[in-house]
Amino acid sequence: MAAPAPEVERRADALANGEFAIPVRLYSPKGLAEVELPGLVFFHGGGLVSGDLDTGDSLCAALCHLGRCRVVAVEYRLAPESRFPAAHEDALAAVMAVAAAPSRWAIDGTRLGVAGDSAGGNLATSAALRAGAAGVELALQLLLCPVLDPLARTPSRCELAGGHLIEEATMRRYWELYRIDGLAPDDERVAPLRGADLAGAPPALIHTAEFDPLRDEGGLYARALANAGVPVRHRTHAGMIHHFYGLGAVIPAAQTALTAIGAELRGAFAGGLSWP
d(CA 214, CA 156) in angstroms, rounded, equals: 7
d(CA 234, CA 206) in angstroms, rounded, equals: 5
Q: For residue 156, which of 141, 144, 143, 167 has the smallest C-alpha distance?
A: 167
Q: What is the DSSP letter of 195?
A: -
Rounded to a whole number, what is the largest CA-CA distance in the chain?
Answer: 50
Mean pLDDT over 145-164 rounds to 96
d(CA 211, CA 107) in angstroms, rounded, equals: 36
Q: What is the pLDDT of residue 215?
A: 98
Query: 70-74 and 20-29: which strand pairing?
Result: antiparallel
Q: What is the mean pLDDT of the chain?
A: 96
**Within a domain: 276:** no
**Within a domain: 1:** no
**Within a domain: 230:** yes
Catalytic residue among 28, 58, 118, 156: 118
Q: Is position 82 annotated as part of the catalytic site? A: no
**Within a domain: 275:** no
Q: What is the pLDDT of residue 47?
A: 98
Q: Is position 57 annotated as part of the catalytic site? A: no
**Within a domain: 40:** yes
Q: What is the pLDDT of residue 272?
A: 87
Query: pLDDT-derived band of residue 257, with 50, 70 and 90 as boundaries?
Result: very high
Return phi, psi of residue 158, to 5°: -80, -45
Mean pLDDT over 15-33 rounds to 89
Query: 37-43 and 107-117: which strand pairing?
Result: parallel
Residue type, 93: A
Cβ neighbours for 192, distance < 8 A, ≥ 6 positions apart: 122, 125, 126, 129, 148, 149, 221
Number of domains in the chain: 1
Q: What is the pLDDT of residue 34?
A: 83
Q: Is the pLDDT of residue 33 over 90?
A: no
Query: pLDDT-derived band of residue 19, with 50, 70 and 90 as boundaries?
Result: confident
Q: Model confidence over 122-143: pLDDT tens digits? A: 999 999 999 999 999 999 999 9
Mean pLDDT over 180-200 rounds to 94
Q: Please report, for the domain that includes residue 203, its CATH number.
A: 3.40.50.1820
Q: Is position 118 annotated as part of the catalytic site? A: yes
**Within a domain: 2:** no
d(CA 132, CA 228) in angstroms, rounded, equals: 15
Q: What is the pLDDT of residue 195?
A: 87
Return phi, psi of residue 245, to 5°: -65, -15
Q: Is the pLDDT of residue 66 over 80?
A: yes
Q: Model confidence over 68-78: pLDDT tens digits? A: 999 999 999 99
State the residue range of the domain holding 23.
8-270
Q: How remote is the C-alpha of 134 from its chain's centroid?
A: 20
Q: Is the pLDDT of residue 166 over 90?
A: yes
Q: What is the pLDDT of residue 114?
A: 98
**Within a domain: 255:** yes
Query: pLDDT-derived band of residue 107, with 50, 70 and 90 as boundaries?
Result: very high
Catalytic residue among 212, 234, 237, 243: 212
d(CA 104, CA 183) in angstroms, rounded, equals: 36
Q: Model confidence over 39-53: pLDDT tens digits? A: 999 999 999 999 999
d(CA 269, CA 139) in angstroms, rounded, equals: 8
**Within a domain: 166:** yes
Q: Model confidence over 199-247: pLDDT tens digits? A: 989 999 999 999 999 999 999 999 999 999 999 999 999 999 999 999 9
Q: How remote is the C-alpha of 164 from its chain's centroid?
A: 21
Catalytic residue among 44, 65, 164, 242: 242
* 22-36 per-residue burial string, b: 16 or more CB within 10 A, e: under 16: bebbbbbbeebeeee
Q: Is the pLDDT of residue 276 over 90?
A: no
